[in-house]
Amino acid sequence: MDPAPSRLRAFALLALVVGAWGCNWPVTKLLVETVPPLWVTASRCWIAFAAVLAMLAASGALIRPPAGDWPALLGTALLHMVGFSTLSAAGLAVLPASQAIVLGYTTPLWVALAAPLVLGEAMRPGHRLGVGLGLVGLAVLLNPVAVDWSRPDTAGGIGLVLAASLCWTGNILLIRSRAWTARPFQLLVWQLLLAACVLTGLAVAVEGAPRFAWTGRTGLLLAFSGLVGTALGYWAMSVVNRGLPALATALGLTATPVVGIACAGLALGDPLTPPLVVAATLIVGGIAASSVAGRRTAPRPPPAIRR
Protein backbone atom coordinates (compact mmCIF):
# COMPACT_ATOMS: atom_id res chain seq x y z
CA MET A 1 0.00 0.00 0.00
CA ASP A 2 1.27 3.50 -0.79
CA PRO A 3 2.42 5.54 2.24
CA ALA A 4 0.01 8.17 3.52
CA PRO A 5 0.79 11.66 2.21
CA SER A 6 1.90 14.46 4.51
CA ARG A 7 -0.90 16.47 6.08
CA LEU A 8 0.17 19.61 4.21
CA ARG A 9 0.13 17.80 0.86
CA ALA A 10 -3.26 16.27 1.64
CA PHE A 11 -4.77 19.67 2.45
CA ALA A 12 -3.25 21.16 -0.71
CA LEU A 13 -4.79 18.36 -2.79
CA LEU A 14 -8.13 18.82 -1.03
CA ALA A 15 -8.04 22.48 -2.10
CA LEU A 16 -7.28 21.32 -5.64
CA VAL A 17 -10.28 18.97 -5.57
CA VAL A 18 -12.58 21.72 -4.31
CA GLY A 19 -11.37 24.07 -7.03
CA ALA A 20 -11.55 21.48 -9.81
CA TRP A 21 -15.01 20.19 -8.93
CA GLY A 22 -16.38 23.65 -8.17
CA CYS A 23 -15.16 25.08 -11.48
CA ASN A 24 -16.43 22.04 -13.38
CA TRP A 25 -20.04 23.22 -12.98
CA PRO A 26 -19.68 26.51 -14.92
CA VAL A 27 -17.41 24.72 -17.41
CA THR A 28 -20.20 22.21 -18.04
CA LYS A 29 -22.67 25.09 -18.36
CA LEU A 30 -20.50 26.61 -21.09
CA LEU A 31 -20.21 23.26 -22.85
CA VAL A 32 -23.94 22.48 -22.96
CA GLU A 33 -24.56 25.82 -24.67
CA THR A 34 -23.10 24.33 -27.87
CA VAL A 35 -22.78 20.56 -27.26
CA PRO A 36 -25.69 18.20 -26.39
CA PRO A 37 -25.51 17.02 -22.74
CA LEU A 38 -25.01 13.33 -23.55
CA TRP A 39 -22.10 14.11 -25.85
CA VAL A 40 -20.60 16.38 -23.18
CA THR A 41 -20.62 13.61 -20.57
CA ALA A 42 -19.52 10.90 -23.03
CA SER A 43 -16.59 12.98 -24.29
CA ARG A 44 -15.57 13.89 -20.75
CA CYS A 45 -15.56 10.21 -19.72
CA TRP A 46 -13.44 9.15 -22.71
CA ILE A 47 -10.88 11.87 -21.99
CA ALA A 48 -10.76 10.98 -18.30
CA PHE A 49 -10.54 7.26 -19.10
CA ALA A 50 -7.47 7.80 -21.28
CA ALA A 51 -5.80 9.92 -18.60
CA VAL A 52 -6.54 7.55 -15.70
CA LEU A 53 -5.49 4.52 -17.78
CA ALA A 54 -2.15 6.20 -18.48
CA MET A 55 -1.68 7.12 -14.80
CA LEU A 56 -2.41 3.59 -13.55
CA ALA A 57 -0.33 1.91 -16.25
CA ALA A 58 2.64 4.19 -15.54
CA SER A 59 2.48 3.48 -11.81
CA GLY A 60 1.97 -0.27 -12.22
CA ALA A 61 -1.37 -0.06 -10.40
CA LEU A 62 -3.63 -1.17 -13.26
CA ILE A 63 -5.60 -4.23 -12.15
CA ARG A 64 -8.55 -6.35 -13.21
CA PRO A 65 -11.55 -5.52 -11.00
CA PRO A 66 -12.02 -8.10 -8.21
CA ALA A 67 -15.35 -9.92 -8.42
CA GLY A 68 -16.52 -8.49 -5.12
CA ASP A 69 -16.07 -4.91 -6.34
CA TRP A 70 -18.31 -5.23 -9.40
CA PRO A 71 -21.54 -4.07 -7.68
CA ALA A 72 -19.89 -0.86 -6.48
CA LEU A 73 -18.15 -0.44 -9.84
CA LEU A 74 -21.40 -0.79 -11.77
CA GLY A 75 -23.27 1.43 -9.33
CA THR A 76 -20.76 4.25 -9.61
CA ALA A 77 -20.57 3.99 -13.40
CA LEU A 78 -24.34 3.93 -13.96
CA LEU A 79 -25.70 6.01 -11.09
CA HIS A 80 -22.99 8.64 -10.76
CA MET A 81 -21.10 8.90 -14.04
CA VAL A 82 -24.09 8.25 -16.30
CA GLY A 83 -27.11 9.27 -14.22
CA PHE A 84 -25.81 12.17 -12.15
CA SER A 85 -23.52 13.62 -14.82
CA THR A 86 -26.07 13.46 -17.64
CA LEU A 87 -29.04 14.74 -15.64
CA SER A 88 -27.07 17.59 -14.10
CA ALA A 89 -25.67 18.57 -17.50
CA ALA A 90 -29.18 18.55 -18.96
CA GLY A 91 -30.38 20.69 -16.05
CA LEU A 92 -27.51 23.11 -16.59
CA ALA A 93 -28.69 23.61 -20.16
CA VAL A 94 -31.77 25.47 -18.85
CA LEU A 95 -30.86 26.64 -15.32
CA PRO A 96 -28.34 29.21 -14.11
CA ALA A 97 -25.17 27.39 -13.06
CA SER A 98 -25.21 28.81 -9.52
CA GLN A 99 -28.76 27.57 -8.93
CA ALA A 100 -27.95 24.12 -10.34
CA ILE A 101 -24.87 23.85 -8.11
CA VAL A 102 -26.89 24.44 -4.94
CA LEU A 103 -29.56 21.95 -6.04
CA GLY A 104 -26.93 19.36 -6.95
CA TYR A 105 -25.30 19.59 -3.55
CA THR A 106 -28.47 18.66 -1.71
CA THR A 107 -27.25 15.07 -2.13
CA PRO A 108 -25.76 14.72 1.39
CA LEU A 109 -29.13 15.73 2.84
CA TRP A 110 -30.92 12.92 0.98
CA VAL A 111 -28.19 10.53 2.14
CA ALA A 112 -28.79 11.59 5.75
CA LEU A 113 -32.52 10.94 5.30
CA ALA A 114 -32.14 7.62 3.50
CA ALA A 115 -29.26 6.05 5.43
CA PRO A 116 -31.37 5.15 8.52
CA LEU A 117 -33.95 3.45 6.28
CA VAL A 118 -31.60 1.71 3.86
CA LEU A 119 -28.49 1.05 5.96
CA GLY A 120 -29.90 1.09 9.47
CA GLU A 121 -27.70 4.02 10.50
CA ALA A 122 -28.85 6.06 13.49
CA MET A 123 -30.51 9.43 12.85
CA ARG A 124 -28.78 11.67 15.40
CA PRO A 125 -29.71 15.24 16.39
CA GLY A 126 -26.92 16.54 14.16
CA HIS A 127 -28.42 14.72 11.18
CA ARG A 128 -31.85 16.18 11.93
CA LEU A 129 -30.38 19.66 12.23
CA GLY A 130 -28.49 19.23 8.97
CA VAL A 131 -31.52 17.96 7.06
CA GLY A 132 -33.71 20.70 8.53
CA LEU A 133 -31.27 23.43 7.52
CA GLY A 134 -30.93 21.94 4.06
CA LEU A 135 -34.67 21.69 3.46
CA VAL A 136 -35.19 25.28 4.60
CA GLY A 137 -32.40 26.30 2.22
CA LEU A 138 -34.08 24.39 -0.60
CA ALA A 139 -37.38 26.17 0.12
CA VAL A 140 -35.60 29.53 0.04
CA LEU A 141 -33.90 28.68 -3.25
CA LEU A 142 -37.12 27.56 -4.95
CA ASN A 143 -39.50 30.23 -3.67
CA PRO A 144 -41.39 32.20 -6.37
CA VAL A 145 -39.38 35.35 -5.63
CA ALA A 146 -36.10 33.58 -6.44
CA VAL A 147 -37.28 31.37 -9.32
CA ASP A 148 -39.24 32.36 -12.41
CA TRP A 149 -41.77 29.53 -12.39
CA SER A 150 -43.57 31.05 -15.39
CA ARG A 151 -40.83 29.78 -17.70
CA PRO A 152 -41.89 26.41 -19.14
CA ASP A 153 -38.43 24.85 -18.74
CA THR A 154 -37.83 25.94 -15.13
CA ALA A 155 -39.62 23.03 -13.47
CA GLY A 156 -38.01 20.56 -15.86
CA GLY A 157 -34.51 21.88 -15.21
CA ILE A 158 -34.99 21.82 -11.44
CA GLY A 159 -36.41 18.30 -11.66
CA LEU A 160 -33.43 17.12 -13.71
CA VAL A 161 -30.86 18.39 -11.21
CA LEU A 162 -32.80 17.03 -8.23
CA ALA A 163 -33.08 13.68 -10.01
CA ALA A 164 -29.32 13.84 -10.55
CA SER A 165 -28.80 14.37 -6.82
CA LEU A 166 -30.96 11.31 -6.12
CA CYS A 167 -28.80 9.21 -8.48
CA TRP A 168 -25.75 10.39 -6.56
CA THR A 169 -27.52 9.51 -3.32
CA GLY A 170 -28.19 5.98 -4.54
CA ASN A 171 -24.55 5.56 -5.49
CA ILE A 172 -23.32 6.72 -2.08
CA LEU A 173 -25.69 4.36 -0.27
CA LEU A 174 -24.56 1.46 -2.45
CA ILE A 175 -20.89 2.18 -1.76
CA ARG A 176 -21.51 2.55 1.98
CA SER A 177 -23.20 -0.84 2.06
CA ARG A 178 -20.22 -2.71 0.62
CA ALA A 179 -16.56 -3.23 1.46
CA TRP A 180 -13.99 -2.41 -1.24
CA THR A 181 -11.28 -4.90 -2.18
CA ALA A 182 -9.31 -2.70 -4.59
CA ARG A 183 -8.53 0.96 -4.03
CA PRO A 184 -11.30 3.20 -5.44
CA PHE A 185 -8.88 4.92 -7.83
CA GLN A 186 -7.89 1.54 -9.31
CA LEU A 187 -11.54 0.89 -10.15
CA LEU A 188 -12.06 4.36 -11.59
CA VAL A 189 -10.61 3.44 -14.98
CA TRP A 190 -13.16 0.63 -15.41
CA GLN A 191 -16.01 2.83 -14.19
CA LEU A 192 -15.04 5.47 -16.73
CA LEU A 193 -14.76 2.92 -19.55
CA LEU A 194 -18.19 1.45 -18.80
CA ALA A 195 -19.77 4.90 -18.42
CA ALA A 196 -18.14 6.15 -21.63
CA CYS A 197 -19.48 3.18 -23.62
CA VAL A 198 -23.00 3.53 -22.19
CA LEU A 199 -23.04 7.31 -22.69
CA THR A 200 -21.78 7.05 -26.27
CA GLY A 201 -24.51 4.55 -27.10
CA LEU A 202 -27.15 6.76 -25.48
CA ALA A 203 -25.81 9.85 -27.23
CA VAL A 204 -25.99 8.21 -30.66
CA ALA A 205 -29.49 6.84 -29.95
CA VAL A 206 -30.94 10.02 -28.44
CA GLU A 207 -28.99 12.90 -29.95
CA GLY A 208 -27.62 11.32 -33.12
CA ALA A 209 -24.09 11.48 -34.44
CA PRO A 210 -22.14 14.50 -33.17
CA ARG A 211 -22.93 17.48 -35.38
CA PHE A 212 -21.62 20.29 -33.20
CA ALA A 213 -18.57 22.34 -34.13
CA TRP A 214 -15.31 21.13 -32.55
CA THR A 215 -13.81 24.55 -31.88
CA GLY A 216 -10.68 25.27 -29.88
CA ARG A 217 -12.87 26.63 -27.08
CA THR A 218 -14.90 23.42 -26.96
CA GLY A 219 -11.73 21.34 -26.91
CA LEU A 220 -10.25 23.34 -24.03
CA LEU A 221 -13.45 23.12 -21.99
CA LEU A 222 -13.71 19.36 -22.56
CA ALA A 223 -10.03 18.94 -21.70
CA PHE A 224 -10.52 20.78 -18.41
CA SER A 225 -13.64 18.80 -17.57
CA GLY A 226 -12.09 15.44 -18.43
CA LEU A 227 -8.51 15.95 -17.26
CA VAL A 228 -8.85 18.36 -14.33
CA GLY A 229 -12.46 18.02 -13.24
CA THR A 230 -12.51 14.22 -13.49
CA ALA A 231 -9.13 12.44 -13.76
CA LEU A 232 -7.02 14.80 -11.64
CA GLY A 233 -9.87 15.42 -9.21
CA TYR A 234 -10.47 11.73 -8.52
CA TRP A 235 -6.74 11.00 -8.23
CA ALA A 236 -6.30 13.85 -5.74
CA MET A 237 -9.34 12.67 -3.80
CA SER A 238 -7.87 9.18 -3.51
CA VAL A 239 -4.73 10.70 -1.96
CA VAL A 240 -6.73 12.98 0.34
CA ASN A 241 -8.74 10.03 1.66
CA ARG A 242 -5.49 8.38 2.80
CA GLY A 243 -4.02 11.53 4.33
CA LEU A 244 -6.86 13.26 6.17
CA PRO A 245 -9.55 12.20 8.64
CA ALA A 246 -12.97 11.62 7.08
CA LEU A 247 -14.48 14.56 8.99
CA ALA A 248 -11.85 17.01 7.74
CA THR A 249 -12.37 15.77 4.19
CA ALA A 250 -16.17 15.99 4.37
CA LEU A 251 -16.10 19.48 5.85
CA GLY A 252 -13.51 20.63 3.33
CA LEU A 253 -15.67 19.43 0.45
CA THR A 254 -18.51 21.67 1.63
CA ALA A 255 -16.53 24.51 0.05
CA THR A 256 -17.10 22.99 -3.41
CA PRO A 257 -20.51 24.60 -4.08
CA VAL A 258 -19.19 27.92 -2.73
CA VAL A 259 -16.31 27.81 -5.21
CA GLY A 260 -18.71 26.77 -7.96
CA ILE A 261 -21.04 29.71 -7.27
CA ALA A 262 -18.10 32.11 -7.22
CA CYS A 263 -16.79 30.73 -10.53
CA ALA A 264 -20.26 30.95 -12.07
CA GLY A 265 -20.45 34.60 -11.04
CA LEU A 266 -17.02 35.41 -12.46
CA ALA A 267 -17.18 33.35 -15.67
CA LEU A 268 -20.88 33.49 -16.50
CA GLY A 269 -22.09 36.62 -14.75
CA ASP A 270 -24.59 34.72 -12.58
CA PRO A 271 -26.02 37.22 -10.08
CA LEU A 272 -25.36 36.62 -6.39
CA THR A 273 -28.92 37.16 -5.20
CA PRO A 274 -29.95 37.21 -1.51
CA PRO A 275 -32.07 34.02 -1.84
CA LEU A 276 -29.13 32.21 -3.46
CA VAL A 277 -26.72 33.31 -0.72
CA VAL A 278 -29.14 32.35 2.07
CA ALA A 279 -29.99 29.01 0.45
CA ALA A 280 -26.34 28.12 -0.18
CA THR A 281 -25.41 29.04 3.40
CA LEU A 282 -28.21 26.91 4.85
CA ILE A 283 -27.50 23.91 2.63
CA VAL A 284 -23.73 24.02 3.17
CA GLY A 285 -24.35 24.42 6.91
CA GLY A 286 -26.68 21.44 6.80
CA ILE A 287 -24.06 19.33 5.04
CA ALA A 288 -21.48 20.32 7.65
CA ALA A 289 -23.82 19.46 10.53
CA SER A 290 -24.64 16.07 9.01
CA SER A 291 -20.96 15.37 8.37
CA VAL A 292 -20.02 16.09 11.98
CA ALA A 293 -22.88 13.95 13.29
CA GLY A 294 -22.01 11.11 10.93
CA ARG A 295 -18.34 11.10 11.90
CA ARG A 296 -19.14 11.04 15.63
CA THR A 297 -21.65 8.21 15.44
CA ALA A 298 -20.83 6.03 12.44
CA PRO A 299 -19.09 2.72 13.10
CA ARG A 300 -16.83 3.36 10.12
CA PRO A 301 -16.13 6.51 8.11
CA PRO A 302 -18.24 6.82 4.94
CA PRO A 303 -16.53 7.32 1.61
CA ALA A 304 -16.04 10.94 0.64
CA ILE A 305 -18.89 12.47 -1.32
CA ARG A 306 -17.66 12.99 -4.85
CA ARG A 307 -18.31 15.03 -7.97
Confidence (pLDDT) at 306 = 42
Confidence (pLDDT) at 202 = 97
Confidence (pLDDT) at 251 = 84
Q: Does some domain include residue 197?
A: yes
Q: Which residue has the higher pLDDT, 299 or 111?
A: 111
Sequence-distant (6+) residues with CB within 8 A of 230 are 24, 44, 45, 47, 48, 51, 192
CA–CA separation, 191 and 175 (whole Å):
13
pLDDT band (50, 70, 90) for residue 92: very high
The answer to whether the predicted template modeling score (pTM) of the entire model surpasses 0.85 is yes
Angle between helices 233-243 and 184-207 (to 10 degrees): 150
Which uninterrupted H or E stretch holds 257? helix 255-268
pLDDT band (50, 70, 90) for residue 305: very low
Q: Does some domain include residue 69?
A: yes
Confidence (pLDDT) at 43 = 96
Q: Which residue has the higher pLDDT, 112 or 178?
A: 112
For the chain, what is the domain count?
1
Spatial CA neighbour of 81 closest among 179, 196, 163: 196
Q: Does some domain include residue 110?
A: yes
Torsions phi, psi for 80 (to 5 deg): -90, -55
Confidence (pLDDT) at 294 = 67
CA–CA separation, 206 and 189 (whole Å):
25
Confidence (pLDDT) at 304 = 42
- Mean pLDDT, rounded, for 15-41: 96
CA–CA separation, 113 and 121 (whole Å):
10
153-172 confidence digits (pLDDT tens): 999 999 999 999 999 999 98
Q: Does some domain include residue 304?
A: no
Spatial CA neighbour of 114 closest among 105, 103, 124, 123: 123
Confidence (pLDDT) at 123 = 84
Residue-range definition of the domain harbouring residue 162: 7-296
The answer to whether residue 298 scores a pLDDT higher than 50 is: no
The answer to whether residue 56 scores a pLDDT higher than 60 is: yes
Spatial CA neighbour of 22 closest among 268, 301, 284, 253: 253
Q: Which residue has the higher pLDDT, 295 or 300?
A: 295
Q: Which residue has the higher pLDDT, 88 or 298?
A: 88
